[in-house]
Amino acid sequence: MWRLWLWLIPSIGLAQLPFELVVEPVQGASLPGLHSYAKAQHGPYWLLVGGRIDGLHSMFPTSAFSFEEQNHYFIVIDTQSWTYQLSSLHLLPPQQRFALATTNQQFFQDGNYLYVIGGYGFDSAAKIKKTFPTLCVLRVDSLIEEILNNGINTAAYVRHVTDTFFAVTGGRLEKLDSVFLLIGGQYFAGHYTKLPSSWFTQRYTNAICRFQLHDDGASIFLKNVSCTKDSLLLHRRDLNSCPWMTADGQPAVAAYGGVFRYHSDIPYQWPIYMTADSMWVDTLFEQRFSQYTCPVFCLYDSVSGKRYTVFLAGISLYDYDEQSEVAVLDTFVPFINDASVLVHHADGATEEVVIGGLFPMRGLANAEFFPNPDVPRYGHGVFRLHQITAPTLLGYAYGGIQSTAGNFGFTYASQAVWRIWLIPDALTAEASFDGASVISWGNAGWWVVNAAGGGRWQADLYDVQGRWLRRYELEGTSMISGADLPAGVYLLHFHNECRRQVMRLMKTH
């Protein structure tokens, strides 16, 4: 079993993070392996559609993006029991079935509706692979209920409209107020192969398009479309995006990375920022890590005006050498196991901090982040960092492409779910801190606590979801028991009149 025993995770960068990130695998879950999917949340349930069940796609036209390895089901995951239920897409009309079984769709959940645009896959009627010119609108709560009840009327909760504008794959879809933003992507039709070939047609959008939808619950149509095009700066697909915030608290969207540059198979490094009425590219900063699609989220501190965009592993232009603590350029663009944080200062400057080896494996490319709805957020999804004052479960990362090596390893669709939680700076400690120390004693759940020079301490124990469990009164060297607790990771929070410290404990069984 992998153990989270590092008191301080090495990082590089000039900025000092006001928090520590902790990841912990969900034990006992038996979920399908999946990546490149669309998703929505409703209560304790996740709704997934589309994506693929293989690893990194083949480079050969006869086997790349095979029909058999498309996801042909709606998947509902119950996060209370970590079980799932399937419903075949064959219950839908052909046009919806083909479009929702695609990969690398653009999607956005707006309240109780999931909007899914485009995607690349197999058109069984025409016997071709293509990018579908389709917008599908899914009613999330009713669809989940129908699936959980083994119903066959899923078609009642799916609507669609066809327009060539929606024929995009590998882009991102976000929303500010009533305006959708379709960011980057491409049109791709035919059989994929690595080399330029007559096997396929490929056209990047080179654009960020704003549009609105008329949707009265029955009819849907596209309106108020306007596109900003730039064949150099916006020539991107398979990128990241997330809700963002300007330094003065204006809702915004950020887009990062994406591939490929015209004369080299490496990703873009300049971030793109969008507000309701503007767009700009920061060409003064170059992002080094996690330029391909991966789980990403943003936190905003309204007191300092700083924003923190967090990327969880994925595929990256740089890898991190944990022994030398150096970022290493790798133009093969490897799978990584590091997290990175872009620190956006109030004066407009950006720095990058790398958290080396946060995950025990390389992967999370084309995985998604599922935010914890109980954590304070702004209306468009940015976490309110200044309101997080205790160990907090921010959310989960699920699935993605996992690899046995940075480059040229065996890849497969991951089944893993990771809890992602945050410890505020007030609760973290430097490695040289002259405070408490903990030594694990066997597997029975006993821990030896040295409370620093005979001082008096209180220690509060939390579980991985940030729930308080119990309090200990400590003095000198003490022995505390967690023998009645289930196996897992726990957080022991020490505090006295002038000091605080948090340490992670592992109980293996």
**Tens-digit pLDDT profile for residues 302-330:** 999 999 999 999 999 999 998 888 999 99
Amino acid at 274: M
- Tokens 């796609």 sit on residue: 57
3-state secondary structure of 375: coil
Residue 421 has pLDDT above 60, yes or no: yes
Residue 294 has pLDDT above 90, yes or no: yes
Amino acid 283: pLDDT: 95
Query: How deeply is 72 buried, as exposed, middle or buried, from its count of CB atoms within 10 A (0-12, 13-18, 19+)?
Result: middle
Dihedral angle sign, alpha carbons of residues 29, 32, 35, 36: negative
Q: Within 13 Å and on the Cβ side, how many CA atoms surround 407? A: 10
- Looking at residues 37-55, what average pLDDT do you find? 97
Question: Which pTM does this prediction carry?
Answer: 0.84
- Tokens 């129908």 sit on residue: 146
- Answer yes or no: are the C-beta atoms of 492 and 500 closer than 8 Å: no
Residue 454 has pLDDT above 70, yes or no: no
For the ranges 77-81, 119-123, 250-254, 500-504, the lowest mean pLDDT is seen at 500-504
Closest CA to 503 of 484, 116, 472: 472
- Looking at residues 227-236, what average pLDDT do you find? 97
Q: How far apart are CA 130 and CA 121, in angstroms?
A: 6
Amino acid 496: pLDDT: 72
Which pLDDT tens digit goes with each residue over 200-210? 999 999 999 99
* Better-predicted residue by pLDDT, 504 or 243: 243
Residue 444 has pLDDT above 50, yes or no: no
Which pLDDT tens digit goes with each residue over 253-286? 999 999 999 999 999 999 999 998 899 999 999 9
Per the prediction, the chain carries an average pLDDT of: 88
List the domains of the chain with CATH numbers.
30-217 (no CATH), 238-422 (no CATH), 437-507 (2.60.40.3080)
Q: Confidence class of residue 115 from pLDDT cuts 50, 70 and 90?
A: very high
- Range 293-325 burial, b when 16+ CB lie within 10 A, else e: bbbbbbbbbeeebbbbbbbbbbbbbbbbeeeee
Residue 440 has pLDDT above 90, yes or no: no
* Better-predicted residue by pLDDT, 470 or 396: 396
- Looking at residues 328-343, what average pLDDT do you find? 97
| Rounded percentage of the chain residues whose pLDDT exceeds 70 | 88
Amino acid 224: pLDDT: 97
Residue 296 has pLDDT above 80, yes or no: yes
Residue 8 has pLDDT above 80, yes or no: no
Residue 186 has pLDDT above 70, yes or no: yes
Amino acid 479: pLDDT: 61
Q: How far apart are CA 371 and CA 17, in angstroms?
A: 20
Query: How deeply is 4 buried, as exposed, middle or buried, from its count of CB atoms within 10 A (0-12, 13-18, 19+)?
Result: middle
- Range 179-205 burial, b when 16+ CB lie within 10 A, else e: bbbbbbbbbbbebbbeeeeeebeeebb
Amino acid 58: pLDDT: 80
Q: Confidence class of residue 447 from pLDDT cuts 50, 70 and 90?
A: low
Residue 5 has pLDDT above 50, yes or no: no
User: Token pair of 132, please?
Assistant: 């579908």
Amino acid 446: pLDDT: 58
- Answer yes or no: are the C-beta atoms of 156 and 21 closer than 8 Å: no
DSSP lists the bridge partners of residue 392 as 422
Q: Confidence class of residue 434 from pLDDT cuts 50, 70 and 90?
A: very low
Query: How deeply is 74 buried, as exposed, middle or buried, from its count of CB atoms within 10 A (0-12, 13-18, 19+)?
Result: buried
Residue 234 contacts by C-beta under 8 Å, 6 or more apart in sequence?
184, 205, 206, 207, 208, 228, 272
For the ranges 341-345, 395-399, 420-424, the lowest mean pLDDT is seen at 420-424
3-state secondary structure of 481: strand
Residue 6 contacts by C-beta under 8 Å, 6 or more apart in sequence?
none
End-to-end distance of the chain based on CA atoms, in angstroms? 10
Amino acid 297: pLDDT: 98
Give Cα 235 to chain centroid, integer Å. Answer: 22
For the ranges 132-141, 338-347, 351-360, 465-474, the lowest mean pLDDT is seen at 465-474
Amino acid 59: pLDDT: 80
Amino acid 473: pLDDT: 80
Amino acid 38: pLDDT: 98
User: Token pair of 104, please?
Assistant: 């690398």
| Rounded percentage of the chain residues whose pLDDT exceeds 90 | 69
Amino acid 6: pLDDT: 27
3-state secondary structure of 9: coil
- Answer yes or no: are the C-beta atoms of 96 and 87 closer than 8 Å: no
Q: Give backbone dihedrals phi and psi of 160, rounded to 5 degrees, phi first.
A: -150, 160
Q: Confidence class of residue 70 from pLDDT cuts 50, 70 and 90?
A: very high
Amino acid 284: pLDDT: 94
Which pLDDT tens digit goes with each residue over 120-173? 999 999 999 999 999 999 999 999 999 999 999 999 999 999 999 999 999 999
Q: How far apart are CA 305 and CA 347, in angstroms?
A: 9
3-state secondary structure of 90: helix
Tell me how crowded residue 221 is: count the other CB atoms within 10 A of its CB: 12
Residue 377 has pLDDT above 90, yes or no: yes
Q: How far apart are CA 297 and CA 289, in angstroms?
A: 15
3-state secondary structure of 94: helix
3-state secondary structure of 237: strand
CA separation, residue 311 to residues 157, 413, 495 (Å): 33, 19, 31
- Looking at residues 468-490, what average pLDDT do you find? 75
- Looking at residues 365-387, what average pLDDT do you find? 96
User: Token pair of 182, please?
Assistant: 């379709």
User: Token pair of 234, please?
Assistant: 């916006």
- Answer yes or no: are the C-beta atoms of 227 and 207 closer than 8 Å: yes
Q: How far apart are CA 35 and CA 99, in angstroms?
A: 16
Amino acid 13: pLDDT: 52
